[in-house]
Chain A
Amino acid sequence: MHNQENTPVADELKNLSPDMFAPASESSVQDNEKIAAPSLSFIQDSWRRLKKNKAAVVSLIVLTIMIILTIAAPLVAPHDPNVQTVEFASLPPKIPGIGIDGLNGTQAVGDTRVDKYAEKGVPEGQYYILGTDSLGRDLLSRILYGTRVSLIIAFVAAFFDLTIGVTYGLVSGWCGGKIDNFMQRVLEILSGVPNLVVVILMLLVLDPGIMSIIIALAITGWISMARVVRAQTLKLKNQEYILAARTLGESSIKIAFKHLIPNLSGVIIIQTMFSIPSAIFFEAFLSFIGIGIPAPTASLGTLINDGYKTFRFLPHLMWYPAAVICILMISFNLLADGLRDAFDPKMKD
């Protein structure tokens, strides 16, 4: 044990001189503490995760294009959607420069293909890209305007769902006690009513039109939003930061806007995203059974309904609007799914 004191390491330690040391600079300490990745806000973080979901990104792009097209419908639409040119009725699609049967203005009559455009004397250079309906209205223009109507209904109805549902849920969850109990009993009774029935009854009572459909959808749509928001509020209410805000004497309204709603934004956005496609579906459904948007205004539902009446002979009148509504619904659902995954804190990596 005794002679081990003179090991080479110990010798070296003895030889250390003061000038071999340098004072640690302050900056090197800061470098160690530096956070390499930029800090992300809630929205940035969700956006980052949403971008990883290819289906959601594609849906987002598709929806953006469709929304821009429908907003610009008055500029983009080649014809007036409501002007009837009866002599050019029921024309098949004709796209300039494409010679494929079905898209070149010809239609099968018996075994031969007849150029309907020549037959009806449509001037050279006038095209109906998706054909015309039985009153000679341009289908493409009607689809553009129809999608616009459907989207307006969906967005406004979703907005009402959001405001009514969030308010109801917040009040119910925040106040608690007897108020909560009463409000929940009301919800329980309301959820026993099939919303289809309410919507139809409302449409019978109100004058048919865009506004009536929006009101009817708004009356029924907010219930699930209210439930989700209430459940989340109950959870958040007991968090320390809410308690702190309360202790500091913040008013309930301020707490709701400053602390609750930002923390609820994830579930609110998801819920809203799911209510948009269901509103689109309901509008189309109502128009399809004939109590939706009155003529001549087009919506996707009325277009499908009109197309269905003649779909054995002019199938394109039904398939094009049907395809548009399917693309819309699929995109909204995929995007909503993607958003749910992006906002779900359990998935955080």
Chain B
Amino acid sequence: MKSYARFLGKRVLYMLLTLFLIASITFFLMKLLPGTPYSNQDKLSEEQIYIMNEQYGLNEPVAVQYLVYIGGLLKGDLGTSFQFNNTPVTKLLSTRIGPSLQLGIQAVALGTILGIVLGVIAAMYQNTWIDTLATFSAILGRSIPNFVIAVLLQLIFGVYLQWFPIALWDGGFSSSVLPTLALTISPLADSARFIRTEMVDVLSSDYVELARAKGLSRWTVAFKHGVRNALIPLVTILGPMAVGLMTGSMVVENIYAIPGIGEQFVKSIMTNDYPTIMGVTILYSAMLVFIILVVDILYGVIDPRIRVSNEGGDK
């Protein structure tokens, strides 16, 4: 147990170090950027600029600004947005995290469940046309860019069939259907592929053969004995999946006009709103690093073999 705690401690330390590095790098990159935060600089007198710089703390030396920023970060303060009515970035983002999170969770849940089903079916009918079809759809899902899928869904179900709103967010179910579907495709394709490979391995293992020998039907064996073990490695692709969703949410939220983090990020990039860009950068990195940590911990919890080898027989 002791070495497991040490392992965890080390992971958390790396996580914090990573975040600190990211925060520092984004800070200095932002300082390198050309231009000022004031869109109407020509109309401002030097005194006005000086006063505004003073107000935002931009007259201090860069080192002091850096320390102030990092100090603020520790308190959960991401600075003040240059655009969007001087809202504190933390407040700006916290009102927008809801829709993004809802879409992300719905997409991951739906995508993995469908992916598992598709992957298991493909593995059960290995090397038949069903397998080929399932594998090919997974490749399609991986290949077609999410913004193309989003526009296609918008056109078919929003414009032609009018089943769902074209681009609207009211927090209700029907307005979340299309964006969720658009985001679902890539986790679906990834997990289907992954599960298929794992299931092919698992299905040829001894304990599956034993379960078959004692008279269980193929599907009972597949779902009761096979899937459980094939699922374990699926946890490891949660990290890349989360990254895919962040990327996806930026375009999907824009296409469907959803007031989420991704849409805010794109808007901030377009308007050179540096504090918000930094805020989203740090938020995304924190989420990813956290997910990687959770995956590491989960992996040990789900698969006792790994825990045992980590603990090194301390028990």
Seen from chain A, the residues whose Cβ lies within 8 Å of a Cβ on chain B are: 55, 185, 188-189, 191-197, 200-201, 204-205, 277, 281, 284-285, 288-291, 304, 308, 311-312, 315, 318, 322, 325-326, 329-330, 332-334, 337
Residues of B67-103 contacting chain A, CB below 8 A: none
Query: Contacts A192-B292, A281-B145 hold; do A201 and B151 have CB atoms under 8 A apart?
Result: no
Contact pick for B145, options A188, A191, A204, A284, CB 8 Å = A284
Give the secondary structure class of A's interface: helix
Q: Give the complex CA separation of A187 and B124 in angstroms.
A: 38
Q: Is A192 a contact partner of B285 (Cβ separation < 8 A)?
A: yes
Contact pick for A290, options B155, B246, B270, B280, CB 8 Å = B270
Known: A55-B136, A333-B143. 13 other contacts (CB 8 A): A188-B18, A193-B18, A193-B288, A194-B246, A196-B243, A204-B29, A205-B33, A284-B145, A291-B269, A311-B151, A322-B148, A322-B151, A334-B139
Contacts of B136 in A (CB 8 A): 55
B254 at the interface (CB under 8 A from A): yes
Query: Contacts A201-B26, A333-B139 hold; do A304 and B243 have CB atoms under 8 A apart?
Result: no
Q: Give the complex CA separation of A173 and B19 in angstroms.
A: 27
Residues of B242-280 contacting chain A, CB below 8 A: 243, 246-247, 250-251, 254-255, 266, 269-270, 277, 280
Q: Is A288 a contact partner of B288 (Cβ separation < 8 A)?
A: no
Contact pick for B15, options A192, A196, A304, A332, CB 8 Å = A192
Residues of B147-161 contacting chain A, CB below 8 A: 147-148, 151, 155, 159
Q: How far is the CB of B96 from chain A (nearest CB, A)?
A: 17
Q: Is B145 a contact partner of A337 (Cβ separation < 8 A)?
A: no
Q: Is B148 a contact partner of A304 (Cβ separation < 8 A)?
A: yes
B207 at the interface (CB under 8 A from A): no
Q: How far is the CB of A43 from chain B (nearest CB, A)?
A: 25
Chain B count of residues within 8 A CB distance of the other chain: 41
B5 at the interface (CB under 8 A from A): no
Least CB separation from B247: chain A residue: A196
Q: How far is the CB of B283 from chain A (nearest CB, A)?
A: 10
Seen from chain B, the residues whose Cβ lies within 8 Å of a Cβ on chain A are: 14-15, 17-19, 21-22, 26, 29, 32-33, 136, 139-140, 142-145, 147-148, 151, 155, 159, 243, 246-247, 250-251, 254-255, 266, 269-270, 277, 280-281, 284-285, 288-289, 292
Name 17 interchain pairs, CB-CB below 8 A, sorted by A: A189-B18, A189-B21, A192-B285, A192-B288, A193-B285, A194-B285, A196-B246, A197-B280, A284-B145, A285-B147, A285-B247, A289-B266, A289-B269, A290-B270, A308-B255, A325-B148, A334-B139
Q: Is B142 a contact partner of A333 (Cβ separation < 8 A)?
A: yes
Q: How far is the CB of A336 from chain B (nearest CB, A)?
A: 10
Least CB separation from B282: chain A residue: A197
Q: Is B29 a contact partner of A205 (Cβ separation < 8 A)?
A: yes
Q: Is B285 a contact partner of A197 (Cβ separation < 8 A)?
A: yes
Q: Give the complex CA separation of A281 and B155 in angstroms.
A: 21
Contacts of A333 in B (CB 8 A): 139, 142-143
Q: Give the complex CA separation of A188 and B15 in angstroms.
A: 9
Q: Give the complex CA separation of A195 and B269 in angstroms.
A: 16
Contacts of B269 in A (CB 8 A): 200, 204, 289, 291
Q: Is B143 a contact partner of A308 (Cβ separation < 8 A)?
A: no
Query: Contacts A194-B285, A196-B246 hold; do A289 and B251 have CB atoms under 8 A apart?
Result: yes
Q: How far is the CB of B262 from chain A (nearest CB, A)?
A: 9
Contact pick for A194, options B19, B32, B140, B288, CB 8 Å = B288
